[in-house]
């Protein structure tokens, strides 16, 4: 028998790309491929790309430059570009980089095995009528007790800075039953913690069920212990979802709710369709439902027209909320988006703002972590730690926790008393 073909895959961008990469690997495995950690051994190199900021997008081209000598040494090697840059730039990628053989968008990757089989140069960036999830193989062996599950794709919000509505298309929700079936498959393979994914996950809607109904349905699956979801938009935070945070014990106390800016003027220019005050009131309601919830957000600094006063309002909002986690980005003008037409804020000013904001959220993150010391939390072990007899897992609040537990195994869900907090993780002792 001939040797199986080898696939090397590299993933950039958000968790939805991580999920898509897993599904692409499974589709190629069903077609006889095995994975390799080394691009130089691969018959097919796949780059699953992100278009969100210029830097992310340009990584594709630097990686392709690095692959060139490998392809010269092994002309049979095929190179494929998947994901959001594939969708945004399509055939342009092959014109700029003739070494690319396949370009496949996020909605057509179920066709990848067939594209790879023909061996011809091909582009598929359609938004096909068939549902790729119906045509992909069932979920296979998994590495750990936590898994992602995409339930919703696309975005209709058209924030003025963002490429996602163009790269991922309109909002589409997967049918409830398909999601339940996939979750059951995952649980049968040992998964205990599922994070539901969507570019606008709380806009999920299918069979008269919103995200709250989906969460409650999944929570009834025996063996599934934890449910999370990301990313949410403030305007889709319905009452029933907030209520689920109060009374659904399997829904974890963590909410990523990006606000982007604390200035109403900038929020309006961003087309976010809510004010800072409305966001703060929403946070109050969420905290009323689940007082210990850990809040997380994304921020953009240096959006066109942002003044020092606007930026100060962002700092004020961060101080008012107190985040357990936050990501801040310097605005990057993206071709085709409305904001790209506007003049940029001075780069040095934007850099300085980014540093100030990052310093503030780092302090808040640390304070939130330190406040866990002395508390008892649930921890789901992921893998052994670096020290002998040690396990590493995730707390309910998604903090990394180190526990000395020589009998511990990945997938054990245990109670831990937190004893110490260090820069990126907590440490504790198992209490049951």
Which residues have CB under 8 Å from 120's CB, separation 6+?
Answer: none
Smallest distance, Å, CB 257 to ligand SF4?
11
Rg (C-alpha) for the chain, rounded Å, is: 22
Per-residue tokens: 355: 């540093």
Instruction: Give the contact letters, 331-360, x = binds to ligand SAH (CB under 6 A), - = no.
Output: xx-x--------------------------
Per-residue tokens: 71: 């392809």
Instruction: Give the contact letters, 170-199, x = binds to ligand SF4 (CB under 6 A), - = no.
Output: -----------------------------x
DSSP bridge pairs for 197: 150, 230
Among 261, 11, 23, 262, CA closest to 160: 261
Alpha helix stretches (DSSP H) within 74-175: 83-89, 91-96, 112-118, 132-135, 164-167
Per-residue tokens: 263: 């200035």
Residue 16 lies near ligand F3S (rule: CB under 6 A): yes
Residue 296 lies near ligand SF4 (rule: CB under 6 A): no
**Residue 3 in contact with residue 36, Cβ under 8 Å?**
no
Number of Cβ within 10 Å of residue 348's Cβ equals 8
Residue 164 lies near ligand F3S (rule: CB under 6 A): yes
Of 11, 152, 200, 263, which one interacts with ligand SF4 (CB under 6 A)? 200
- Stretch 226-255 residues interacting with ligand SF4 (CB under 6 A): 233
| Closest to ligand F3S by CB, 163 or 427 | 163
| Closest to ligand SF4 by CB, 113 or 165 | 165
Question: Among 42-50, 137-145, 162-170, 323-331, which window interacts with ligand SF4 (CB under 6 A)?
Answer: 162-170
Interaction partner, residue 16 (ligand SAH, ligand SF4, ligand F3S, none; CB < 5-8 Å by kind): ligand F3S
Interaction partner, residue 84 (ligand F3S, ligand SAH, ligand SF4, none; CB < 5-8 Å by kind): ligand F3S
Strand order across the beta sheet in which 254-256 lies: 254-256, 294-301, 325-330
Residue 200 lies near ligand F3S (rule: CB under 6 A): no
The beta strands (E) that lie in 331-412 are given as: 376-384, 390-395, 400-404
Among 100, 134, 154, 136, CA closest to 22: 136
Of 82, 116, 162, 257, which one interacts with ligand SF4 (CB under 6 A)? 162
Residues near ligand SF4 (CB under 6 A): 155, 157-159, 162, 164-165, 199-200, 233
């Amino acid at each position: 028998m001939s040797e199986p073909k080898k696939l090397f895959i590299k993933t950039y961008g958000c968790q939805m790309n991580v999920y898509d990469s897993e599904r692409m690997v499974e589709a190629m495995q069903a077609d006889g491929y095995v994975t390799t950690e080394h691009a130089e051994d691969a018959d097919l190199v796949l780059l699953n790309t992100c278009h969100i900021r210029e830097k992310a997008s340009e990584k594709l081209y630097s990686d392709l430059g690095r692959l060139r000598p490998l392809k010269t040494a092994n002309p049979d090697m095929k190179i494929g570009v998947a994901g959001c840059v594939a969708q945004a730039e399509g055939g342009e990628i092959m014109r700029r980089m003739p070494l690319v053989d396949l370009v496949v968008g996020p909605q057509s990757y179920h066709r990848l095995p067939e594209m790879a089989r023909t061996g011809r140069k091909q582009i598929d960036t359609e938004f096909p009528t068939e549902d790729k999830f119906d045509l992909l193989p069932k979920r296979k062996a998994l590495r750990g007790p936590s898994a992602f599950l995409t339930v919703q794709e696309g975005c209709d919000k058209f924030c003025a800075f963002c490429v996602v509505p163009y790269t991922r298309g309109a909002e589409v929700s997967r049918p409830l039953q398909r999601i339940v079936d996939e979750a059951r498959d995952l649980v049968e393979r040992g998964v205990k913690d599922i994070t539901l994914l969507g570019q606008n996950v709380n806009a999920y809607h299918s069979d008269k069920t919103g995200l709250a109904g989906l969460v409650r349905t999944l929570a009834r699956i025996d063996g599934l212990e934890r449910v999370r979801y990301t990313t949410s938009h403030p305007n889709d935070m319905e009452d029933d979802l907030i209520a689920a945070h109060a009374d659904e014990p399997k829904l974890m106390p963590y909410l990523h709710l990006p606000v982007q800016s604390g200035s109403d003027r900038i929020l309006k220019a961003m087309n976010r369709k809510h004010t800072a005050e409305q966001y703060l009131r929403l946070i109050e309601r969420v905290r009323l439902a689940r007082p210990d919830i850990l809040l997380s957000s994304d921020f953009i600094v240096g959006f066109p027209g942002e003044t020092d006063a606007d930026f100060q309002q962002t700092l004020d909002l961060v101080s008012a909320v107190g985040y357990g986690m936050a990501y801040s980005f310097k605005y990057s003008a993206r071709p085709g988006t409305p904001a790209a037409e506007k003049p940029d804020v001075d780069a040095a000013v934007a850099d300085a703002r980014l540093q100030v904001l990052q310093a503030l959220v780092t302090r808040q993150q640390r304070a939130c972590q330190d406040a866990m010391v002395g508390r008892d939390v649930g921890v789901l072990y992921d893998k052994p730690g670096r020290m002998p007899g040690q396990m590493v897992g995730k707390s309910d609040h998604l903090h990394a926790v180190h526990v000395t537990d020589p009998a511990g195994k990945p997938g054990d869900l245990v109670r831990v008393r937190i004893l110490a907090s260090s820069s990126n993780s907590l440490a504790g002792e198992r209490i049951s």
